[in-house]
Structure 1
């Protein structure tokens, strides 16, 4: 792999076993992927597949047992605190839960200014950037002096996105950023992600369990099953005509607002289950 913004090569992540002489638990078994500038890779899998672990390893929050992670050609899998602080300018994250990812005791203006202050921007520069960020994500200027609890779930996620954009990063790791939102709000937040990417050229690693969601936002899709990538390709192909049985099961499990489509998927799911039971 070469020429990509982010390159993950043969990544292995394992954790020590719990208890005396318990073997280590390997979560990822040699995962490789890459993300180009201005593009989105959708990473799909059910709970426990290891998809969040990949994002955490990129962010330096999970131990890398083997393999490499390169950002703009520089190895970062063993980055220390000082290097991670520099990387924070270019790699940011939006977490799943907009309710717990924001400090409830801080006003929105302070939440957005915090990453700017850590990068030594002046008070005047920070204040100007905060106003620009609020406008960028479609929130009113008076949000600066309000607390997170005064906003809806969708608005809180917009605040989280604004915080991730504060340092004008090149890559944002999006860890299930819309799964806690209702379908209508999901669509609006996904459209916001697309609009921001079009305007800024930022890249996304978009982690989700829902193929319909990643179809909407991704250029490419990688499907993770029990720590291994079992399918990878253009989003249109993987999310409509998957080749791997596991990907097909994920597609059938995705909810659809169209009752006819949902009914058909339910029937196919039941037929597949009955076939598996018979075998």
Structure 2
């Protein structure tokens, strides 16, 4: 069996709190997960569970005060900035908000070309790569000359995905990448993520609050609650037949198109919350 591409071991994340002798706030409590090459691991939990903080820790954007983060055999827990920038070729991110993640004053070509300057590509090589990236995410080449404000939310997220793919990374941290989109657009973007993974073999850490969303993509799923992983296993098992009480509540809160089933789920969730 192939070893993990990313190995997060007993990671603790703490933030200092203002005030004399006040204890730091601990957002992640010794969490361990791993991601294999070409795999999608879903990381699910409600707001405040620590899931986004864990993703930011992998990106070097959150203070890791305990444990280790190993990427492709290299300890990246406390890399200096210069080495962290070099790692951007292998680890990229797609953020939640497609309206704020793109520079509004830059054309799409400039946005997609910017990371390519790291590899010192010629102008013609960069232009060819941009055309390929736009085609990869289902946008016309004419999009290159336009500004982000000229696109819908779903199109902007496709552009953000194209930017993440520009350096041909091995791992992409997807931080709630479809939560700001309507349901129809969500489905299309999720299909795009799946197609890209099948074609390129890129691995995903897919952060979401919605079990129904991660079910579309995830080979394995970790459920976070108050900084701890409370359930961790195969995607089909965790998203359809959860065992932990908290995961069951997340499952019951997921919307379904049948109003009778939805009403039954709401009653069951209210009952489980009361009994807890």
The TM-score normalised by the length of structure 2 is 0.97
1:68 aligns with 2:61: no
Q: Distance in 1 between matches of 2:265 and 2:218?
A: 22
Q: Distance in 2 between matches of 1:127 and 1:203?
A: 26
Deviations 1:101-126 (A, max 9, x none): 00011100100000001332222211
After TM superposition, the runs of 4+ consecutive aligned structure 1 residues lying more than 3 A away are 273-276
> Matches of residues 26-65 of structure 1 in structure 2 within 5 Å?
26-65=26-65
Deviations 1:68-110 (A, max 9, x none): 0000010001111221122110100000000000001110010
Q: Distance in 2 between matches of 1:274 and 1:55?
A: 31
Q: Distance in 2 between matches of 1:270 and 1:26?
A: 29
Question: What is the match of residue 185 of structure 1?
Answer: 185
Gaps of 5+ in 1: none
How many aligned positions are there?
A: 276
1:142 aligns with 2:177: no
1:206 aligns with 2:206: yes
Deviations 1:44-77 (A, max 9, x none): 0000010001110111111110100000010001
Question: What is the match of residue 81 of structure 1?
Answer: 81
1:232 aligns with 2:232: yes
Deviations 1:120-141 (A, max 9, x none): 2222211110000000000011
> Matches of residues 128-167 of structure 1 in structure 2 within 5 Å?
128-167=128-167
Gaps of 5+ in 2: none
Question: What is the match of residue 23 of structure 1?
Answer: 23
Q: Distance in 1 between matches of 2:90 and 2:54?
A: 17
Question: What is the match of residue 275 of structure 2?
Answer: 275
Q: Distance in 2 between matches of 1:104 and 1:35?
A: 34
The TM-score normalised by the length of structure 1 is 0.96
RMSD: 1.3
Question: What is the match of residue 96 of structure 1?
Answer: 96
Q: Distance in 2 between matches of 1:162 and 1:80?
A: 27
Deviations 1:178-235 (A, max 9, x none): 0000000000000000000000000000000000001111000000010010000001
